[in-house]
Structure 1
Amino acid sequence: MRAIAAACLLAPVGAWAHAPESPAAGPSWTAWNTQPWLLFLLAVSLLFYAAGLLRLWRHAGAGHGIPVRQAASFAAGWLALVAALVSPLDAMGSLLFSAHMVQHEMLMIVAAPLLVLGRPLAAWTWALPAVYRMRLPALVRSRSLAWAWDAITQPVSAWALHAIALWAWHAPQLFEAALRSEGLHVLQHASFFVTALLFWWAVLGPDARSRRAGLAMVLLFTTMMHTGALGALLALAPTPWYPPYVDAAVALGIDPVQDQQLGGLVMWVPGSVAYLVVGLQVIANLLGRRAKAMA
């Protein structure tokens, strides 16, 4: 079930990839991405969640099992996916490096944590017919699946996979290869999103509640530092790292170096703020639990 649920989240991410193109070719940079199969996958993921949520609430009572705030988190995360993959931001990402960075950040620090908070695994499980729900515990407890899940969701593993994906794909050779190959671009987006889901699962998922808050703070702080460092390198670089974006930026009357600097700042500043905000919330939750325990 975990594999099926992950596929429902991941499929839309790989649905659209593109190399930089000239704005002179037409008004496509303002167009919405309305590929039928992308819209279908997004719709299925949302409808499946809604069906499971309603069935759970009929069984346990409205707001029980998955509170309203968690359902709202999933909805917000789903809308962030739509904004990243369907809105004109996707087309702008084919012209400007800065727009491409906004798209990546939407996937990694907006959609991913909100989706994790929305508890999609629980909702999608309840969307299944009762006969399949009864069989899930045995499947989940299977040794191979449990081992694989534990291996990729352990905090250090999730942190490392996310860090490797970020730094590897921003190497100029790999980044340019992804811009020129639809398959590699799909893999790039999927890598960012998958590893972000794993990272946020380690920080915010159900298993995180049984761990010390200090571990979550270490994960958040170190990720803020290394992603900020990558953003700073991009923002302070005196020359463009990714030549395919140069011509498109010039055609739009934008300095390619400034476009790259803006993209680096997007990763550096808003990204750091997101990790900081979550870190403060983790501390607030810890203090709240201690206050209740002492009351």
Structure 2
Amino acid sequence: MGGRGDEGAGLEGGHAVGTRVASLPAAPASRRGLSFVLGAGGVLALAVSPPLDQIADRWLFAHMVQHLLLTLVAAPLLVVGIGAWPRLWGIVRTRVSRRGGDALGRVLTHPLVALLISAAVLWAWHAPEAYDAAIVDDRVHAVEHLSFVVAYVLYWWPLLGPGRAEWSNAFRAFYLLAGAATGGLLGALLTFAPGAWYAHYLAIPSAAGLSPLADQHLAGAVMWLIGAIPFALIAVAVLRDEG
């Protein structure tokens, strides 16, 4: 009774099992990618939802915490998640290709271009006129937050996204240092400024013994000192992984 039919069925069954086994390594990668994407979504929700969003309307230092969560936590988590989730990365790449965006994508994620875009977006939104416009208009505020996420997805892509292996460790270290300096210099200016920059906070009565200028100095310290921590952690992970 063990003829060719049984043998063929056995071969087909073995082939099916082999195919399933071969596909198993992709599952943990997809789950890992999903966990990073969900983590990014959670951080985004934390940053733009109460109570932090309400506190940020009252205190500048809380607004800086928002910005750090968007640029230095949510954005890199999203980039890692896309790269670690083959199906999602395939969808993104296919849709970009269909719209003829391959060349533009390569330009925007080139390290020099991405660094300049992220720096320009960060500094532009912290100019007093732009900042005050965003804090009083929800639509402008939403554009500000979206532009932070997009700009820093571009910034983190050369380090954490697909294709990152083409850059040397020396270049990665320089790139991280340049990115940290971009926010660090702005934070230092806020910290040591002799006067408050933003009219919105000047119009709000002081609370908890924190004047608008003291609030600004604290905000600068958050950006300057606390903002260095994600860069340091990512530097350790990236340089060790590629060392």
Range into which the TM-score falls when normalised by the shorter chain: 0.7 to 0.9
The secondary structure found in structure 1 opposite 2:163 is helix
Whole-Å separation in 2 of the counterparts to 1:82 and 1:228: 25
Secondary structure of 1:239's counterpart equals: coil
Change (3 A) 1:172 1:69: same
Q: How many angstroms apart in 1 are the aligned matches of 2:213 and 2:52? A: 20
Q: CA deviation at 1:270?
A: 1.5
Residues 1:265 and 1:148: Cα distance change in structure 2 (over 3 Å): same
SS in 2 for 1:250: coil
Q: CA-atom RMSD, angstroms?
A: 2.6
SS of corresponding position for 2:210: coil
Equivalent position of 1:205 in the other structure: 161
Taking the aligned partners of 1:261 and 1:76, their CA distance within structure 2 comes to: 30
Shift of 1:59: 9.3
> Is the counterpart of residue 225 in structure 1 residue 188 in structure 2?
no
Q: 1:187, CA displacement in angstroms?
A: 1.9
Q: Among residues 54, 71, 85, which one is paired with 1:108 in the alignment?
A: 71
Contact 1:240/1:257, CA 8 A, preserved across alignment: yes
The C-alpha deviation readout for 1:233-291, integer Å capped at 9, x for no partner, is: 1011121110211233514542111111111111101111211221222221122xxxx
- The match for 1:38 is none
Give, in whole Å, the separation in 2 of the partners of 1:195 and 1:249: 34
Distance change in 2, residues 1:177/1:140 (3 Å): closer
For normalisation by structure 1, the TM-score amounts to: 0.68
Deviation of 1:103 after TM superposition, in Å, equals 0.6
1:242 and 2:198 correspond: yes
Query: Equivalents in 2 of 1:125, 1:200: separation in Å?
Result: 15
Task: Sort the Cα spacing of 1:124 and 1:80 in 2 relative to 1 into closer, same or farther, 3 A.
Answer: same
* Structure 1 runs (4+) greater than 6 angstroms displaced: none
Give 1:255's aligned residue. 211
Q: Does the Cα contact within 8 Å between 2:30 and 2:86 map onto a contact in 1?
A: no
Give the match for residue 214 of structure 1. 170
Between structure 1 and structure 2, the one with the greater Rg is: 2
Contact 1:96 1:249 in 2 (8 A): no
Q: CA deviation at 1:62?
A: 6.4
The aligned runs of 1:9-158 (5 Å cut-off) are 60-61=23-24, 64=27, 66=29, 68-119=31-82, 122-124=86-88, 137=94, 140-142=96-98, 144-158=100-114
Residue 270 (structure 1) aligned to one of 221, 226, 229:
226
CA contact (8 A) 1:112 1:193 kept: yes
Cα pair 2:65 2:222 within 8 Å, conserved: yes
Deviations 1:22-74 (CA, angstroms, capped at 9, x unpaired): xxxxxxxxxxxxxxxxxxxxxxxxxxxxxxxxxxx999336537254443322
* Identity across matched positions, percent: 32
> What is the CA distance between 1:223 and its match in structure 2?
1.1
Question: 101-110 vs 140-149, which deviates more?
Answer: 140-149
Which stretch shows the higher mean deviation, 271-280 or 175-184? 175-184
CA distance in 2, matches of 1:118, 1:284: 19
Distance, in Å, in 2 between the alignment partners of 1:104 and 1:175 is: 12
Q: Is the 8 A contact 2:196 2:202 kept in 1?
A: yes
Alpha-carbon separation, structure 2, partners of 1:268 and 1:206? 29
Q: What one-letter code is carried by the residue in structure 2 that aligns with 1:81?
A: L
